[in-house]
Chains A and B, each alone.
Chain A
């Protein structure tokens, strides 16, 4: 496929606001995860919480005010992203810039709060609750569109934990189809009781900090993040490129990956084929690596089937936790930072690698010249996406 330029990108997570704290966090091996409860949650465990989301949105967006849109707003304000989009708006026009935002739970926390104040006699939610501008899946995409003063094609993609990887594929197609000239892609997912108690009910949350690929890993730690990128036609000016994407479905189970990793392998193979490269051209794989026993084993089988045991790989969820619908963009940005800095990050918090895992999971970070990397995101419903990201040679 024709690559796209990734001309701007930014991310905000528990590691901090914007790119710099993420570079610093990777280099100093400082995790954003903390052992603390989230708001009224009584669950023990580690979370990757973003600080400073207690201020409401500006008056113009007060209908849109909820934790998820506050996180989107905070994320958009980093690394000059809003200015870059204002410039793009002048170049292309507001109706020629598409918006593709991934989220799994959008502003569900607002609905949780509303149910806490529900009038049971009348079965009515409080007057301040607005489903369309907060809870609705589309809310965050529409908010980003309005906040950036855009009026092009706009959609929320919600395929659970692959959502904000899939936005790159959808944007690539929309640009080829002529639906837009450039695209804002991104992902936003925020902590809420629904996911904390829901993953807990599925017994997928680790009581310990998330330890991907560890012999005694016990599950995931949840986090939150907002990330965005501006995709443009490749005119030779962008240092970073979207060179391929791959998508597949497991057709196996709603909340458990295919134990053989066939869907994961199909997505990675599709990304390589679309990028026109062989497996040996990949210098690093950012694994989905949630730290659940089932995910890490299935993904390992897929990686080994395609790449053997040589290609360096790691999950960065020991830094950020699993940010669900934002994991795709967060980990794509981690990959871009690794390409930029020449960094191969280790699997943070992994003490002893599970002997059953045969891929080359990095236990020590190191520096290396990187040209092409792969980023994996897999979601409930067996929805898989793999992105091939590159740095201009």
Chain B
């Protein structure tokens, strides 16, 4: 992990955070896991947005597996994918869980119940309604006792997640970042259309290790009107805009293509997060 201050073309200082990617997990329509997604993201195979079948988390104990909701399963799908490729022990990872809306299906059930005269809220729904439900299940499943932070930043959740996770590397050697959202039920879908179920996981490290595959450098740009990076493929770009977590797709494309490149994604207040990606041999 290194911190740098450069002077940009307008003469202003620009601060950046640099760290390493050790493993990647992905679950999205047509992109069931990182290994099979790589060829699509490299443009070697056509992207077909096929819905993924339901997922059974591998690591959840039976009790928790029964209670885990679709959004928890979606988060686990990418997180477990990343862990499978990682040399790191899941129990030793600090984590950041980033989601715009977390569990809108649970919210829908609770608010529907509250609109009835009996107001019978399910206790399981209530404990699943917390924004950090997926993180809680993950720590139980993996016996991870280190720090875990759950955040939300609407459509800028990927930028906020990357910044939170990168800054956490100041305290922790390895961080698991999981970004995820799932479609809301009908009445809420009209409000913030999340039309696909997507999760992305990155295991990032402070120092370069044998299994590091890329170096990322994050810079929060001054307010400008440069458009975020698109996917260059119509189908993938529809996916990118269909879910806040899918805003990470241009970054994942660059990682899959093992290129050195620069990607811009939207951050809070109309700013851009610049990601400079360097592939490591």
Contact = CB atoms under 8 A, between A and B. Distances in A.
B28 to A, nearest CB: 22
A118 B132 contact: no
B129 A198 contact: yes
Contact of B153 (A115, A156, A203, A380): A156
A142 B100 CA distance: 13
Given A158-B131, A179-B167, A132 B154 contact: yes
A193 B114 contact: yes
B69 to A, nearest CB: 11
A137 B127 contact: no
Interface in B1-27: 3, 5, 15, 17
A249 B153 contact: no
Nearest to A251: B139
Interface in A133-180: 135-138, 141-142, 145, 150-160, 166, 169-170, 173-174, 176-179
Interface string A97-126: 000000010001001101110100001110
A141 B153 contact: yes
Contacts of A156: 151-153
Contacts of A194: 110-111, 114, 121, 126, 129
B192 A131 contact: yes
A145 B268 CA distance: 10
A114 B190 CA distance: 13
A266 interface: yes
Interface stretch (A252-260, A290-298, A367-375): A252-260
B62 interface: no
Given A252-B140, A382-B140, A263 B3 contact: no
Nearest to A249: B139
Contact of B115 (A108, A115, A382): A115
Given A112-B111, A153-B163, A251-B144, A173 B136 contact: no
B78 interface: no
A199 to B, nearest CB: 7
B143 A153 contact: no
A95 interface: yes
A130 B110 contact: no
A194 B121 CA distance: 8
A129 interface: yes
A115 to B, nearest CB: 4
Given A125-B187, A383-B148, A115 B160 contact: no
A202 interface: yes
A390 B150 CA distance: 27
B30 to A, nearest CB: 27
B188 to A, nearest CB: 6
A42 interface: yes
B168 interface: yes
B164 to A, nearest CB: 6
Given A118-B187, A170-B167, A253-B140, A160 B192 contact: no
A379 interface: yes
B191 A153 contact: no
A289 B57 CA distance: 34
A123 B127 contact: no
B262 to A, nearest CB: 19
B211 interface: no
Contact of A249 (B5, B144, B168, B271): B144
A115 B170 contact: no
A323 to B, nearest CB: 15
Given A137-B102, A138-B100, A197-B114, A159 B149 contact: yes
A286 interface: no
Contacts of B232: none
B147 interface: yes
Contacts of B131: 104, 137, 158-160
A158 B146 CA distance: 17
A173 B122 CA distance: 38
A250 interface: yes
B149 A157 contact: yes
B130 A104 contact: yes
25 contacts: A95-B223, A108-B111, A111-B188, A115-B111, A115-B112, A124-B190, A125-B187, A130-B191, A131-B101, A136-B154, A138-B152, A138-B153, A138-B154, A150-B269, A157-B150, A169-B147, A170-B149, A176-B167, A193-B114, A197-B121, A249-B145, A253-B140, A266-B145, A380-B136, A382-B140
Interface of A: 42, 95, 104, 108, 111-112, 114-116, 118, 123-125, 129-132, 135-138, 141-142, 145, 150-160, 166, 169-170, 173-174, 176-179, 193-194, 197-203, 247-255, 262-263, 266, 379-383
